[in-house]
Amino acid sequence: MRIDSIVINASPLITLFRSGQAHILPQLFHRIIVPYAVWQEVVLDDWDDAPVRELRQQTWPVREHVDPSPRVAAWALGAGETAVLSYALANPPLRAVIDDMDARRCAQTLGIPIFGTGGLLVLAKRRGLLDSVGVAIEKIRDAGLWLSEDVVRILKTQAGEYEEEP
């Protein structure tokens, strides 16, 4: 099943813009929901760097007001994570794009399908938008996203790029 729409959290947005790879989002998805809580966190709060200014100029983010789901709110996540997961829960089969481990556990428990930033890169490679997931991963790591070597190996394997060392 082709995924047409996502709801995205602050960390993946910031990481993709800082790594110069945010252009893949509108190429991958027809509709990209950014809850107002996430927009507030990224654009209106304390962030004032070139990637955030670039996000402000984009026409593709669809900003939505989200009423928190009591099922998600019970997890005591941040406002952005709560909004992203509440929106995805209310709008299946929409995918949530989220990197926070507690939010990912919440999503798994509630049956919300998710991607992480690394998963977006694998999908972009599969759809012919990236030549190398390995290079893209290095860019998001350089932009500040921590990924363990195990996760990097899994992502490269999913993208058909991992080779066992002799």
The pLDDT profile of the chain, 166 residues, written as one tens digit per residue, is 678 999 999 999 999 999 999 999 999 999 999 999 999 888 876 666 777 788 888 999 999 999 999 999 999 999 999 999 999 999 998 999 999 999 999 999 999 999 999 999 999 999 999 999 999 999 999 999 999 999 999 999 999 997 765 5
Amino acid occupying residue 22: A
The span from the CA of 55 to the CA of 150, in Å, is 31
Q: Is the pTM of this model over 0.75?
A: yes
pLDDT at 27: 96
Q: What span, in angstroms and rounded, lies between the C-alpha atoms of 123 and 104?
A: 18
Contact residues for 30 (Cβ-Cβ < 8 A; gap 6+):
4, 5
Domains of the chain: which residue ranges? Answer: 5-158
151 phi and psi, to 5 degrees? -65, -40
Domain 5-158 falls in which CATH fold? Rossmann fold (3.40.50)
Q: Is the peptide bond before 92 cis (omega within 30 degrees of 0)?
A: no
Cα three-residue angle 44-16-111, rounded to 5 degrees: 90
pLDDT (0 to 100) of residue 79: 96
Hey, CA dihedral for 154, 160, 161, 163, is it positive or negative? positive
The residue type at 101:
M
